[in-house]
Amino acid sequence: MRSTLRKQTLRRGSGRATALVVAMAFLVPIVRPGSAGAQDHTTEIKGLTFNPDQITIRAGDRVTWVNRDSDRHDLRGDGFESKPMANGQTFTVEFPEPAQIAYHCIIHTYMEGRVIVLNPDGSTPPATAGEPEAPPAPSTTTSSTRPPGPLDGVPIEH
């Protein structure tokens, strides 16, 4: 009887181990830290300018603005807005997708900057995204509410 109990226990134990291994195999792809290649970039606010005023990063990277001025500054760009930052305070934004994002200081509107976000591999995304549509082609037909006349090839009656 003891040998029967031992076999059942071993079988149950190996079944649990198998289930654990299978469960771990499914969890491994799910449990990941943030983007492996993501980088942090810094832009200083000093002398009422952004330094650098244009920065090129990859999708997934973060930009941190550090206020080094005695004046308060706050930023607004497409998809983000900071609270007013005093000297020494910071504001960080993660840029998940390729884009060209202009931003400015809400308090000092002449302070402008740009973040250029490339594809994660560093390649430039297609330039068509976000660009204005081309104006419509001129019409080759005319319509008018005036009566036909000599400009339309209709002779004038005298």
Q: Per-residue pLDDT tens for 38-85? A: 899 999 999 999 999 999 999 999 999 999 999 999 999 999 999 999
Residue 81 lies in domain? 40-118
Residue 32 confidence class, pLDDT cut points 50, 70, 90:
very low
- Residue 51 inside a domain? The answer is yes
* Number of separate domains in the chain: 2
Within a domain: 105: yes
Report pTM: 0.59
Q: How far apart are CA 53 and CA 27, in angstroms?
A: 43
Residues 57 and 92 in one domain: yes
CATH of the domain at 64: 2.60.40.420
- Identify which of 143, 101, 22, 122 has the alpha carbon closest to the alpha carbon of residue 93: 101
pLDDT over threshold 90, residue 114: yes
Q: Are 19 and 49 contained in the same domain?
A: no
In this prediction, what percent of the chain has a pLDDT beyond 70? Answer: 58
Residue range 107-121: mean pLDDT, rounded: 95
Rounded Cα–Cα distance for residues 80 and 132 (Å): 22
Q: In this structure, are 62 and 100 located in the same domain?
A: yes
| Between residues 37 and 52, the one the model is more confident about | 52
Same domain, 102 and 70: yes
Residue 146's pLDDT is: 64
| Same domain for 44 and 114 | yes
pLDDT band at 128 (very low <50, low <70, confident <90, very high): very low
Residue 99 lies in a domain: yes
pLDDT of 145 > 90? The answer is no
Please indicate, yes or no, whether residues 75 and 28 belong to a single structural domain of this protein. no
